[in-house]
Structure 1
Amino acid sequence: MDISEVLSTNFTEFDIGSPLSKVAGAFENQELDAVVVTDGDEYRGIVSRRQLASSSIQPSAKVGSQVQHVPTVERTEDVREVARLMIGSDAKTLPVLNKGQLVGVVTADAVLKAVRPFLDSVTVADAYTEKLVSATPDTTVGKALNTLREARIAHLPVVDENDLVGIVSLYDVIDFTVRGGSKSQGGSAGSFGGGGRTSGSHGGFGAREGDSDRILDLPVRNLMSETVATVRLNAPLDDVVETMFEREISSLVVTADESDEPVGIITKTDIIEALTWERDDRRAVQVFGLDLLEGMDYDDVAELIESVTAKYGDMSVVKASIELHEHKEQSRGIPLVLARIRLVTDRGYFTADGEGYGATHALRLAANAIERQVLKGKTYGQSKKNPEAEPQEHLYGWWLGG
């Protein structure tokens, strides 16, 4: 299946010189995940809703200062490859080009709607993220915001001992601080990567001066939603996707089959990532943009990742996703490159960026940042389970012609 059937020609576009305050206003449309940025007729990149909510920026800044460079795809691109690119770039909206011209966008939601009928034999247990990144009712708003930003997630379940008592999203926190502490209504819904969507989100411009410290010291019980969508481990993924769209949410807390104890979370990102599984033994390390590396091949990159985890002791790589993107900026003919590493191990999840002149330099900077996290034991939750081969057969049938 290619994306020609699911791409959308309706997208919101901003010129590179537009103020970010206008973009923040556009995101009050809760269905909008990202806007396309252009310079005249030339495509330049995107700005995502989560990006704005996660950044400390001034409303008067220009859109060009926050442009995110994500992979572009052709309208004939395979859905599975699009899923890989979304996971590798941590983006849920990708621009679609035809002969270099922007013709539309493809979103994670569109992909999930297209593949939902083929997910009936894969269960939550095959794809969910084990061990919650969570808060307690007494966790301060400031600490919750820091956790959401550092872990690059947008949903934070609230657990009191072993009881799931609520959930708070990145957008709840931002809206709460912007509005000066009045309780947000809602607290569950749609952002890629375990995210949330609630009414009245205004982007990441922070609290008003003078109120910030007081608001950030309040407990999250002041803004959490007490209504939390949950799912059992044995539930099929097609039912999970259906629930997400019916309830306009993007994550469900996973509870043990024998009790209501929360044991993990299943997000749209997790399901999209399931589409990237290999039919047979999959490579633990996936590299997007390998051709940008100078003097390194795939084996060198895999060895670099293994050397980072080896410094922790008995740590095994479950999966590593590496995205390399080349900017137009150069220094002495060497392009500026962004390297992003997402590392899943049997000890936890790590993520870091590195930016430098030349892909090899950028990759090593990102690897150094991951290594510092590993040595400090700074994880963002436990690893995902490796899917068994049998549940994957049906999942692959639709793109292998079965």
Structure 2
Amino acid sequence: MDVTAIVDQEFDTYDEATPVSKLRGAFEDSAQKTLVITRDGEFEGIVARRDVLSSHEKTSRKARSLVRSVPTIEADEDVREAARLMIAGDTRLLPVLEGDDLVGVVRADDLLGHVQPFLSVLDADDVASTDIVSVEPTTTLGKSLATFRTERIQHLPVVSEDDPADVVGIVSLADVLEFVTRELQRSQGGDPNEDMDASSGGHHGGFGAREGESADLLELPVRNVMVETLGTASPNDDLDAVLETMLEFGGSSSIIVDDDGALTGIVTKTDLLESLTWTEEQRLPVQVFGADLMADTNREELAERIEDVTRKFRDMRVFEAKVHFQKHKEQLRGVPLMHVRIRLFTDKGLFVAADEGYGDRHAFSLALNAIERQILEGKTNGKSKKPADQEDLEKVYGWWLSP
């Protein structure tokens, strides 16, 4: 699948001599997150919203002081490569060139919307970041900005001071930067360079004591900025549903909570883009429930062994595997009796099998043997997640299915 269908040919460009103040106004007047910059009518680079908001440049400075280069693509580039370039270039917009001519742009939201129906091959748990960094409502904006910088992240769940598993909001780097910039402009009136009296060199208004007001703003608690209406998902939700939640709430991330509503992870649009770059050779999505019960195996070994079995059937594609471990009280020479259930989603249908053995490796081997017997006998337990019409799917989404 190439990006032809999602190339936007109606887009604004700004010359490199455009004042930063005008770029800031363009961001404030629209939902755009990236602006295209040209030089003498030819593509020069992009300026991102966060670049303008976090910039210390005076608003009379020109766009060229903030412009940065990003990868470019052609209209027949495939979607997977477009996602890879967005990640590599740290951009959510790719210019589309024909020769040296800028003919359109591809935006991350359009790309994700285009492939949304096919994201169901993965669950939230497959891509979620579970090593969570969070803040409390009383955390200052200054400390939050420091956390964004040191952790190299752009979203922070806000958790209750009484219970770190209870999410009460979320704050993004853009939220903080936009709030601080807006409040500074409101209280200080403009760019001192723009208020310079040509005859006397004196100022009329302007920023004044900017440093003091900036410090006061950064001491405000994050509750002043956080978004309380959250888009949440469960670990088992398909990624297409997770994206739908983001779109519904107008966010660029979704909080992952368990059945009790406790915070377990976070999924961002960047995570969704990264998932598009995976190939079968790189990763077989394997969800493990009861992973803390594994003493002799790990997720990578489970994936490898499942692939070894299904590789025998060359016309079968595996989209996802789920493995459940459960421990019984019974033991043999100190090794617990384990119950293992495997659910295998393939283009041939859903295969489910369970068995018991002493230790996680033995129990998994027995359950996997049962799966192999089912495949040989063609005994499926239901329809695959993949649409029934294989030929149509390959035409539309061959880039995902191709080996």
Q: TM-score range by the shorter chain?
A: 0.5 to 0.7
**1:48–1:157 CA distance, 2 compared to 1 (3 A):** same
* Deviation by residue 1:87-146 (Cα, 9 ceiling, x = unmatched): 111111010000111001001111111101111231101111112221112211101122
Aligned-pair distance for 1:245? Answer: 1.8
* Residue 166 of structure 2, aligned match among 141, 163, 167: 163
SS of 2:136 mapped into structure 1? coil
Where does residue 53 of structure 1 map in the other structure? 53
Moved over 6 A (4+): 388-396
Where does residue 200 of structure 2 map in the other structure? none
Structure with higher Rg: it is 2
Where does residue 245 of structure 1 map in the other structure? 247
Distance in 1 (CA, whole Å) between partners of 2:226 and 2:182 is 15
Residues 53 and 170, structure 1, Cα contact 8 Å, conserved in 2: no
Distance in 1 (CA, whole Å) between partners of 2:241 and 2:281 is 25
Where does residue 231 of structure 1 map in the other structure? 233
Specify which structure has the higher proportion of helix.
2
Where does residue 345 of structure 1 map in the other structure? none
**1:108–1:179 CA distance, 2 compared to 1 (3 A):** closer
**1:263–1:55 CA distance, 2 compared to 1 (3 A):** farther
Aligned-pair distance for 1:62? Answer: 1.1
SS of 2:147 mapped into structure 1? helix
**1:390–1:32 CA distance, 2 compared to 1 (3 A):** farther
Where does residue 6 of structure 2 map in the other structure? 6
Kindly tell me the number of residue pairs found equivalent between the two proteins.
275
Residues 177 and 208, structure 1, Cα contact 8 Å, conserved in 2: no
Distance in 2 (CA, whole Å) between partners of 1:70 and 1:171 is 20
SS of 1:120 mapped into structure 2? helix
Structure 2 counterparts to residues 64-103 of structure 1, below 5 A: 64-103=64-103
**1:389–1:2 CA distance, 2 compared to 1 (3 A):** farther
Aligned-pair distance for 1:20? Answer: 1.0
Distance in 2 (CA, whole Å) between partners of 1:392 and 1:270 is 23
Where does residue 37 of structure 2 map in the other structure? 37
Where does residue 221 of structure 1 map in the other structure? 223
Residues 230 and 255, structure 1, Cα contact 8 Å, conserved in 2: yes
Distance in 2 (CA, whole Å) between partners of 1:179 and 1:45 is 26
Aligned-pair distance for 1:400? Answer: 4.1
Higher relative contact order structure (alpha carbons within 8 Å, sequence separation ≥ 6):
1
TM-score normalised over the length of structure 1: 0.63
Distance in 1 (CA, whole Å) between partners of 2:143 and 2:262 is 24
The reply on whether 1:106 has 2:106 as its aligned counterpart is yes
Structure 2 counterparts to residues 238-387 of structure 1, below 5 A: 238-256=240-258, 258-281=259-282
Aligned-pair distance for 1:173? Answer: 1.6
Where does residue 19 of structure 1 map in the other structure? 19
Distance in 1 (CA, whole Å) between partners of 2:94 and 2:343 is 29
* Deviation by residue 1:231-285 (Cα, 9 ceiling, x = unmatched): 10000111111222222211111112x3211111111110111000011136xxx
Judge which range, 86-95 or 124-133, deviates more.
124-133
Residues 14 and 36, structure 2, Cα contact 8 Å, conserved in 1: yes
Distance in 2 (CA, whole Å) between partners of 1:235 and 1:217 is 38
* Residue 212 of structure 1, aligned match among 214, 217, 225: 214
SS of 1:173 mapped into structure 2? helix
Amino acid at match of 1:262: L
The reply on whether 1:130 has 2:133 as its aligned counterpart is no
Distance in 1 (CA, whole Å) between partners of 2:3 and 2:110 is 9
Residues 54 and 149, structure 1, Cα contact 8 Å, conserved in 2: no
Residues 178 and 208, structure 1, Cα contact 8 Å, conserved in 2: no
Residues 70 and 89, structure 1, Cα contact 8 Å, conserved in 2: yes
Distance in 2 (CA, whole Å) between partners of 1:124 and 1:149 is 26
**1:178–1:52 CA distance, 2 compared to 1 (3 A):** closer
The reply on whether 1:119 has 2:119 as its aligned counterpart is yes
SS of 2:82 mapped into structure 1? helix
Aligned-pair distance for 1:61? Answer: 1.8
Amino acid at match of 1:57: E
Judge which range, 11-20 or 242-251, deviates more.
242-251
Aligned-pair distance for 1:390? Answer: 6.5
Distance in 1 (CA, whole Å) between partners of 2:54 and 2:118 is 34
Aligned-pair distance for 1:221? Answer: 2.1
Distance in 1 (CA, whole Å) between partners of 2:182 and 2:18 is 25
Distance in 2 (CA, whole Å) between partners of 1:55 and 1:278 is 38
Residues 53 and 181, structure 2, Cα contact 8 Å, conserved in 1: no
Distance in 1 (CA, whole Å) between partners of 2:28 and 2:184 is 19
Give me the identity figure in percent.
Answer: 45
Residues 36 and 47, structure 1, Cα contact 8 Å, conserved in 2: yes
Aligned-pair distance for 1:218? Answer: 1.9
The reply on whether 1:178 has 2:181 as its aligned counterpart is yes
Amino acid at match of 1:21: S
SS of 1:74 mapped into structure 2? coil
